[in-house]
């Protein structure tokens, strides 16, 4: 009698969890890709943990707080590691609708990933697309800040250069008039003495004979 | 008393200015492409021959003319012969066109530089689509780097006809680029002389850093071996020789008037022969150096993509046949494929169309040049390196230095004739003239920031300078050798520098170089005529790749105008001077 019941239960289970069955999902794990040397072996204890995580996710759904680990059925475990799973209702006769399982898994994907040290690429639930994390969008794009800084520096530098250029030109414009004043003074002094202006001779294109220049040095300084 | 001509503070500034001008983006993005297309290591043979036969003599000629005449291009050619001042005008026009579109590259370099300060780099990930379930469609079909270039940077329209509006982001960057150029040329040689210390030397620092990093990257040797293996049969291909000659010609920046402008600020006694040889050697050395860096980056990128492809194929097979995770590796892939094909033939034939044939050679074979190389291929390689922000900042900073260095030469070519002219310089100070030139260029340059701007950029890049420069340099050489007189020029140089001109230069100037230029000119002209309608590459967002389209009529008209406006200057000004002379002679005769 007991044997008959046992066969009945496994038969029903076998029917409920089958590859491609209604409300069944295929799961694929790539443990070695994710962890390399620290990869753990997939055994029945890991399967138990998986069932626990799925049951935990279902418990978060309203009206499904009574989901137990035994309600989650796994089948067709391959070397890959991949397998199919279904979640049954408390009577163990029907499987829960796929939409409910989908929402439950999506909401808790991060927790499930964390439990197995995997991520969205290495723990895949086929037919349950994961929500991709949106990229960080700061309120002011970073590039505008850097642009603004460099722009201000360049503008300040240009203004400084232009202003110093204007100042230099004003100084140059003043100098020739100062030189002219000095010439006038010299002329006035010399005309007082002799009538022959001496200094202007030097400035107005005369050639200085270098031979006579060194004579100044022969005079012993006092 | 006449105002003394401003001089370079020391000869080193002059050499640095020439190097900074000649070593530009072409060394980084055109030479590696040519090297790859025309036989790898064996391309160096025509390249070096053309350098000695064409590059050095023409460079020496331009520097000597500038140093002797001590004026910008218009004044210099007017001194040689009043009928030939059109050559100078043509140089200024070509430089004007060049500076209009060249600074847009600097704007793009600024854009990428500012975006390099983010984690992750914006061109390394695709943006999400509307409901966050997957990636943007255009980005999926193309790659994330292509998407960032075509959509985020250019926001390119599907064809030339659809203009779109001016994009404010590239427009801001262009404005900044022109402000930076204005800052550097503001005070003439005083400011330019100091800036060229940086723009000439910093790119080399970055290239050396990149060389060390590039050579230590995984897969770099694949690229180097593949690219540099000489394919001797390419030496028989005339296109290899023509492209070597063209590359030397344009890489040195001959004919724009920039070299004449720079040399005019030299002391008359400087040894321009030595400078010419140094500058041309450094320019070619930089090209070869940059191609070593580029090929190691290519090798890294190709190896990375090849290994990714293998991983994808392994994953596909592992998932389809539920093999153990990590069982398939690169070494046993073929074996296992064979086994699976025989063991599960039906399942294998289902999956077979999706299995890509991964080949390292086909990855290495993708030869890219121009903006595609700089902004797509390099960024793709950079995003896979560790600390990619640092490498990205370094790389775009180097591109900026190269670009601004060349811009300094271009603007000098335009400004020197303007500041030399008595009429203009008596009314406006130097700063105002530079400011006006920058403003006009910036305003016209806004065309290149429109959605169709990149297509107009390609038009300018391909047609604004090529034919005109060949003609200008040809007329220059003939003018110096036959109109001014080679003997007279030689004695001028001897009196100026104190050194005799060797027979080698005289033979090159009078015979070989003009012949080379004529053959290049004939080749290009026949090439344009034979190809018939000109075509361009347009970006198709729905397919995520480039498609070829024909230029519309008005674009062809613009191309014709570009070429005509610079080349026609020479005969028109000659004609104008002839007419003026006749009128003057007629007046004098009537007076007498």
Q: Which residues of B are annotated as a binding site for Na(+)?
A: 22-23, 27, 251, 283, 402, 406
Write down the pTM of the prediction. 0.83
Instruction: Indicate whether A84 and A19 sit together in one domain.
Output: yes
Same domain, A16 and A105: yes
A79 and A103 together in one domain: yes
Task: Give the nearest partner residue to B179 out of A79, A134, A155, using CB atoms.
Answer: A155
In a domain, A111, yes or no: yes
ipTM of the shown complex: 0.84
* Same structural domain, A121 and A16: yes
Identify whether A56 is part of a domain: yes
Annotated binding site of B: 22-23, 27, 251, 283, 402, 406
Domain end residue (candidates: A70, A97, A125): A125
Question: Measured between beta carbons, which residues in chain A are less than 8 angstroms from residue B110?
Answer: 147
CA distances from B479 to A55, B65, B90, B113, B566 (A): 91, 11, 14, 45, 18
Which residue of B lies nearest to A35 if distances are taken between CA atoms? B326
Which distant-in-sequence residues (6+ apart) come within 8 Å of B296 by Cβ? B211, B214, B215, B217, B220, B221, B223, B224
State the total domains in chain A. Answer: 2
- Specify if A222 maps to a domain: no
Q: Are residues A31 and A86 in the same domain?
A: yes
A78 shares its domain with A167: no
Q: Where are the beta strands (DSSP E) in B420-544?
A: 535-540
| Judgement on whether residues A50 and A78 belong to the same structural domain of the protein | yes
Q: Is the dihedral of CA B281, B286, B289, B291 positive or negative?
A: negative
Q: How does pLDDT run along chain B (592 residues), one tens digit per residue?
A: 345 788 898 889 999 999 999 999 988 888 988 888 888 888 999 999 999 999 999 999 999 999 999 988 899 999 998 888 899 999 999 999 999 999 999 999 999 999 999 888 899 888 887 777 778 888 888 888 999 999 999 999 998 888 888 899 999 999 999 999 999 998 888 888 889 999 999 999 999 999 999 899 888 898 888 888 888 888 888 889 999 999 998 899 998 999 999 999 998 888 989 999 999 999 999 999 999 998 898 889 889 889 888 888 888 888 888 887 777 887 888 888 888 888 888 888 888 888 878 888 888 887 778 888 888 888 988 988 889 999 999 999 999 999 999 999 999 999 999 988 888 888 888 889 999 999 999 999 999 999 999 999 999 988 888 889 999 999 999 999 999 999 999 999 999 988 888 999 999 999 999 999 999 989 888 888 888 778 888 998 888 888 899 899 999 999 999 989 988 988 999 999 999 989 988 877 766 5
Would you call B322 and A31 a contact, using CB atoms and an 8 Å cutoff?
A: no
Q: Are residues A28 and A94 both part of a single domain? A: yes
Q: Does residue A157 fall inside a structural domain?
A: yes
Question: Helix (H, G, I), strand (E, B), or coil: what is residue B6?
Answer: coil
Choose the closest CB to B325 out of A80, A144, A155: A80
Q: Note whether residue A179 is domain-resident.
A: no
Distance from CA of A25 to the nearest CA of B (A): 15
Q: Do residues A46 and A106 share a domain? A: yes
Whether residue A88 is found in the same domain as residue A160: no
Of B570, B520, B512, nearest to B86 (Cα)?
B570
Residue position matching structure tokens 């993005």: B29
Say yes or no: A86 and A150 in one domain. no
Using CA coordinates, name the residue in chain B closest to A176: B1
Task: Count other C-beta atoms under 10 Å from residue B420's C-beta.
Answer: 19
Residues A142 and A121 in one domain: no
Interchain proximity B322–A33, CB inside 8 Å: no
Q: What residue segments make up the domains of chain B, in order of their start?
A: 15-123+130-591
Alpha-carbon distance B455 to B196, whole Å? 31
> Do the Cβ atoms of B218 and B303 come closer than 8 Å?
yes
Residue A117 DSSP label? T
Q: How far apart are CA B92 and CA A78, in angstroms?
A: 75
Is residue A203 situated within a structural domain?
A: no
Q: Please give the Cα distance from B245 to B52 (Å, whole number).
A: 11
DSSP B265-328: TS-TTS-HHHHHHHHHHHHHHHHHHHHHHHHHHHHHHHHHHHHHHHHHHHHHHHHHHTPPTT--
Domain residue limits at A26: 12-125
* Domain range B15-123+130-591, CATH class: mainly alpha
The CA distance from B165 to B538, in Å, is 18
């Amino acid at each position: 009698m007991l044997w008959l019941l046992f066969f009945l239960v496994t038969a029903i289970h076998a029917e409920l969890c089958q590859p491609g069955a209604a409300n069944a999902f295929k799961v694929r794990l790539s443990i070695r890709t994710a962890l390399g040397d620290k990869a753990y072996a997939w055994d029945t204890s890991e399967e138990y943990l998986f069932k626990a995580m799925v049951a935990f996710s279902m418990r978060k759904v309203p009206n499904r707080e009574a989901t137990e680990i035994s309600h989650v059925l796994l089948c067709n475990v391959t070397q890959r590691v991949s397998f199919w799973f279904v979640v049954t209702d408390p009577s163990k006769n029907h499987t829960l609708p796929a939409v409910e399982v989908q929402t439950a898994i999506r909401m808790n994907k991060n927790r499930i990933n964390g439990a197995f040290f995997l991520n969205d690429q290495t723990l895949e639930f086929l037919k349950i697309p994961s929500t991709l994390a949106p990229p960080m969008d700061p309120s002011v794009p970073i590039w505008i800040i850097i642009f603004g800084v460099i722009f201000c520096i360049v503008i300040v530098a240009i203004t400084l250069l232009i202003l110093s250029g204007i100042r230099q030109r004003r100084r140059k414009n003043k100098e020739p008039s100062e030189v002219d004043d000095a010439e006038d003074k010299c002329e006035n002094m010399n005309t007082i003495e002799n009538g022959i202006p001496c200094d202007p001779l030097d400035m107005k294109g005369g050639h200085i004979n270098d031979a006579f220049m060194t004579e100044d040095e022969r005079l012993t300084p006092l | 008393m006449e105002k003394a001509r401003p001089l370079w503070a020391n000869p080193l500034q002059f050499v640095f200015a020439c190097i900074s001008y000649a070593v530009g983006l072409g060394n980084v993005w055109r030479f590696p492409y040519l090297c790859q297309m025309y036989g790898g290591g064996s391309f160096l043979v025509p390249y070096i021959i053309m350098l000695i036969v064409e590059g050095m003599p023409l460079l020496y000629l331009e520097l000597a003319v500038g140093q002797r005449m001590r004026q910008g291009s218009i004044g210099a050619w007017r001194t040689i012969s009043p009928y030939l001042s059109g050559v100078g005008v043509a140089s200024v026009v070509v430089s004007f066109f060049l500076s209009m579109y060249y600074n847009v590259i600097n704007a793009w370099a600024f854009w990428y530089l500012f975006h390099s300060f983010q984690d992750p780099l914006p061109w390394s990930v695709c943006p999400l689509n509307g409901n966050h379930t997957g990636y943007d469609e255009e980005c999926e079909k193309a790659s994330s780097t292509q998407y960032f270039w075509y959509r985020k940077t250019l926001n390119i329209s599907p064809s030339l006809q659809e203009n779109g509006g001016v994009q404010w982001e590239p427009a801001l960057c262009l404005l900044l680029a022109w402000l930076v150029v204005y800052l550097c040329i503001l005070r003439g040689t005083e400011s330019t002389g100091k800036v060229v210390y940086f723009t000439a030397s910093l790119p080399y620092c970055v290239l050396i850093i990149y060389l060390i990093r590039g050579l230590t990257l995984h897969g770099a040797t694949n690229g180097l071996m593949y690219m540099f293996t000489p394919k001797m049969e390419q030496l028989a291909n005339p296109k290899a020789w023509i492209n070597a000659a063209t590359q030397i010609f344009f890489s040195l920046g001959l004919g724009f008037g920039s070299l004449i402008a720079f040399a005019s600020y030299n002391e008359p006694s400087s040894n321009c022969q030595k400078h010419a040889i140094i500058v041309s050697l450094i320019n070619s050395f930089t090209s070869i150096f940059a191609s070593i860096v580029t090929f190691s980056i290519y090798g890294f990128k190709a190896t990375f993509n090849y290994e990714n492809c293998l991983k994808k194929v392994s994953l596909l097979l592992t998932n389809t046949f539920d093999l153990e995770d990590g069982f398939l590796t690169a070494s046993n892939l073929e074996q296992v494929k064979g086994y699976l094909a025989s063991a599960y033939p039906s399942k294998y034939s289902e999956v077979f169309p999706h299995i890509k044939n991964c080949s390292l050679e086909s990855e290495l074979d993708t030869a890219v040049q121009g903006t595609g190389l700089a902004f797509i291929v390099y960024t793709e390689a950079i995003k896979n390196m560790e600390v990619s922000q640092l490498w990205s900042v370094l790389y775009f900073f180097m591109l900026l230095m190269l670009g601004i260095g060349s811009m300094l030469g271009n603007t000098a070519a335009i400004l020197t004739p303007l500041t030399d002219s008595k009429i203009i310089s008596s009314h406006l100070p130097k700063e105002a003239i530079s400011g006006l030139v920058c403003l006009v260029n910036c305003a016209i340059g806004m065309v290149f920031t429109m959605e169709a701007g990149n297509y107009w950029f390609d038009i300018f890049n391909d047609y604004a300078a090529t034919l005109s420069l060949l003609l200008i340099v040809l007329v220059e050489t003939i003018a110096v050798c036959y109109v001014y007189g080679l003997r007279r020029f030689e004695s001028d140089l001897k009196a100026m520098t104190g050194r005799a001109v060797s027979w080698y230069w005289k033979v090159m100037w009078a015979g070989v170089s003009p012949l080379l230029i004529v053959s290049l000119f004939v080749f290009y002209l026949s090439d344009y005529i034979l190809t018939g309608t000109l075509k361009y590459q347009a970006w198709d967002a729905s397919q995520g790749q480039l498609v070829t389209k024909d230029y519309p009529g008005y674009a062809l008209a613009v191309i014709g105008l570009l070429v005509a406006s610079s080349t026609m200057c020479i005969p028109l000004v000659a004609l104008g001077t002839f007419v003026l002379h006749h009128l003057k002679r007629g007046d004098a005769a009537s007076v007498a």
